[in-house]
Structure formats: structure tokens, C-alpha cells
């Protein structure tokens, strides 16, 4: 006898402040309107006063939840036993700059050996994704000079503030939250005060602070020809869902994914408005979208499960395991479920 699962009253969602089709679909109200006739409320984790609910952005320990954004929290959660399914991937060519003071002795082709590299350490988040990004960027840049992390001094910069607490209880899930403006602040202050020689600047924020403080760009890793050097938290981005929801109500998951696909297609036909929405999602002036996220950003919002993206995700988890961010590697074959994407592509809602 089959078990009848009652439809959930709430679908939770969370997303990183990065360019995604989910962000557009949510901004336009399409996902909320999709489930309104079912009496299902679509709610952001940001709106909860419960720390455990907000923490699900990293732990994915909440039923009936979708998450799209950086891969590190998703990998961490799965490696810790979270019962999730990976239902989409995409790659956005975001800025990755190593930056120095304009008056430093670091210039083009200067050796980075023995230089002081800023390494932020967030002590009160379940997974320190920003530190993992910095380490990956430093590893990539140093490899171009035949160096590795042991050839430089990593200066730890302790940060007590937690990402999930800065914006708790925000009633507007689309608000530009203050934490987006502060993602680089500890490193920038250390650089300006000559406590470090090099910091990592990411995405549109990296471009912004480079110009605001007249910093010297040592290298933009995005310009490297080897894509393997560009794999970080935000490359590739992941869309995950609670497996409990996928197994009990696959139709709801398919409809959610359909709205994500719809948003990516809409963006291609409405590029100016799409850029404005993405700028709001990221929390920067629209001016920085093209340089910070690539001038092909609108065509990079489509989700897929192409082999190249899955391979990049595997390379990412191997890096995280090597540097102690996760304890266990994930069986990607069992994590990936292409059913929702295939079925959503056939829908005509």
C-alpha cells in the first residue's frame, strides 16, 4: 500500500548573493505565484528569527528546502550527512583578483614568494567558505609562478561575526543586506594598515574595492586559460533540494526548477532588467556587473548537469578535503539527480 504524503505548507529557499536564475525568479515573484494556488507559502530562510532555520543555509538540515549558490556549503552539508539531491549546476565567470597596495613593491611579474597573504578565519559559521575561496585563489595564482602555499606567509585574520546573524529576521528577502558590503572589510583594513601584502578580491565587490582604494591588481585568475585554476566556492554554483521533498513530492520540485529555467530564458530576452536584478541580488552598483560577473553573465544562468561541471565540483571537494574543510568525500553519482531538470524541461505551465 503506497504512502500518501501531505503537501507541505511551506517551501523554504535560500540563495547566496551571487548571479542565479533563482534570484531572478524569486525577485519577479514567479516562484511564489507558482505555489500560491496550492496554498503553499514560499519563504526565505533570511526571514526566520530561528538561528537553526537560518543556519540551514549551510547545514541543509531543513525539510522542504531549496538552495542555490556557492558549492562549499552544499558540499559540506552533504559530507556531514545532509539528505540532499543535487539537481542543477552552472558556471559564472566572476572576477578573481589578487590585490596589493598601489605603493607596495609588488608589480607585474614580481615574485610573490615570502609575501604576506591575508587569510580570513570565520570562527562562528559551520563552514568557512570565504577562507576556502581565498586559499583556492592563492593556490592557483602561486602555481603560475611555480610556487605553493608553503612559499608565502598566510596571515590569519579572525572574524567573529557570523553571516547568518548579520541579517537575521529581515522581513524583505530581496533587500540589499549590509553583510554584502562587508565581505572584504577585514582583509582591506589589514592591507591598508600594512599587516598583509596581498588580499583576495572576488566578484563585483572585488572590482569595487580595487577601484575604491586604488589597489594594484596582481592577477585576475579569471583571465587564465586553464579553467581548473578558477574552481572555487562560486565555480560551479549548485542547486540542491531536500531529498525528502524530491521523493515525496517530485512534482513540486519539477515546478520550482521550471521557474528557474524560465527565469534564465527570460533574462536572455530582457538583459537590461536582468542586470538590474542581478546587481540588487549581489548588492553592488549595476556598473560593476559586467566586469565583476563577466559580460556573458546573462547566457551563463542556465542550469545543467553537464559532465564538465560535475567534474569541476569533484575537483572542488577534493580541494576541500585536502585542506580540512570537509572530513568525507561525496559519492557524486548518488548525489546528482537529473530527474527534476529533465522533467522541468518538458513542462509547459
Which runs of consecutive H residues, i.e. helices, occur in 100-175?
A: 129-143, 163-166
Query: Tell me: the pLDDT tens digits for 79-135?
Result: 999 999 999 999 988 899 999 999 999 987 788 999 999 999 988 888 898 999 999
The fold of the 10-92+235-344 domain, in CATH, is: D-Maltodextrin-Binding Protein; domain 2 (3.40.190)
CA distance 347 to 349: 6
Domain ranges of the chain: 10-92+235-344, 96-230
1 — pLDDT class (breaks 50, 70, 90): very low
Query: Tell me: the pLDDT tens digits for 26-69?
Result: 999 999 999 999 999 999 988 788 888 888 888 898 999 999 99
Query: Tell me: the pLDDT tens digits for 144-161?
Result: 899 999 999 999 999 887
- Does 273 have pLDDT greater than 70? yes
**All three cell numbers of 102:** 598601489
Residues 23, 29, 33: CA angle, nearest 5 degrees? 130
CA distance 274 to 27: 10
236 preceded by cis ω (within 30°)?
Answer: yes
Over residues 169-191, the mean pLDDT reads 68
**What CATH code is assigned to 96-230?**
3.40.190.270
184 — pLDDT class (breaks 50, 70, 90): confident
CA distance 241 to 89: 12
- Does 2 have pLDDT greater than 50? no
Query: Tell me: the pLDDT tens digits for 233-257?
Result: 567 999 999 999 999 999 999 999 9
Fold equal for 10-92+235-344 and 96-230: yes
Buried b (16+ CB within 10 A) or exposed e, 247-286: ebbeebbbbbbbbbbbbbebbeeeeeebbebbbbbbbbee
Instruction: Give the per-residue pLDDT at 169.
Output: 47
Amino acid at each position: 500500500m503506497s504512502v500518501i504524503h501531505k503537501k507541505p505548507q511551506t517551501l523554504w529557499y535560500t540563495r547566496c548573493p551571487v548571479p542565479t536564475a533563482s534570484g531572478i525568479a524569486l525577485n519577479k515573484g514567479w516562484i511564489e505565484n507558482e505555489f500560491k494556488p496550492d496554498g503553499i507559502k514560499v519563504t526565505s530562510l533570511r526571514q526566520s528569527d530561528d538561528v537553526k532555520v537560518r543556519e540551514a543555509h549551510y547545514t541543509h538540515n531543513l525539510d522542504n528546502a531549496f538552495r542555490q549558490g556557492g558549492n562549499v556549503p552544499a558540499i559540506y552539508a552533504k559530507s556531514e550527512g545532509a539528505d540532499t539531491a543535487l539537481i542543477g549546476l552552472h558556471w559564472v565567470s566572476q572576477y578573481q583578483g589578487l590585490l596589493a597596495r598601489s605603493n607596495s613593491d609588488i608589480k607585474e611579474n614580481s615574485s610573490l614568494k615570502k609575501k604576506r597573504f591575508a587569510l580570513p578565519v570565520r570562527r562562528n559559521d559551520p563552514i568557512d567558505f570565504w577562507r576556502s575561496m581565498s586559499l583556492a585563489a592563492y593556490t592557483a595564482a602561486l602555481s603560475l609562478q611555480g610556487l605553493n602555499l608553503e612559499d608565502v606567509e598566510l596571515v590569519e585574520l579572525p572574524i567573529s561575526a557570523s553571516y547568518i546573524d548579520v541579517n537575521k529576521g529581515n522581513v524583505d528577502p530581496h533587500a540589499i543586506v549590509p553583510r554584502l558590503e562587508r565581505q572584504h572589510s577585514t582583509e582591506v583594513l589589514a592591507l591598508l594598515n600594512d599587516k598583509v601584502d596581498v588580499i583576495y578580491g572576488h566578484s563585483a565587490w572585488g572590482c569595487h574595492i580595487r577601484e575604491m582604494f586604488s589597489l594594484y591588481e596582481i592577477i585576475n585568475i579569471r583571465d587564465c586559460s586553464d579553467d581548473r585554476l578558477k574552481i572555487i566556492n562560486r565555480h560551479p554554483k549548485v542547486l540542491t533540494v531536500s531529498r525528502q521533498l524530491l521523493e515525496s513530492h517530485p512534482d513540486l520540485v519539477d515546478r520550482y526548477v521550471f521557474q528557474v529555467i524560465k527565469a534564465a530564458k527570460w533574462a536572455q530576452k530582457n538583459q537590461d532588467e536582468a542586470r538590474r536584478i542581478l546587481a540588487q541580488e549581489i548588492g553592488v552598483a549595476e556598473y560593476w556587473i559586467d566586469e565583476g560577473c563577466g559580460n556573458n553573465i546573462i547566457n551563463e544562468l542556465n542550469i545543467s548537469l553537464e559532465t564538465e561541471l560535475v567534474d569541476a565540483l569533484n575537483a572542488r571537494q577534493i580541494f576541500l578535503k585536502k585542506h580540512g574543510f570537509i572530513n568525507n568525500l561525496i559519492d557524486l553519482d548518488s548525489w546528482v539527480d537529473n530527474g527534476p531538470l529533465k522533467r522541468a524541461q518538458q513542462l509547459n505551465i
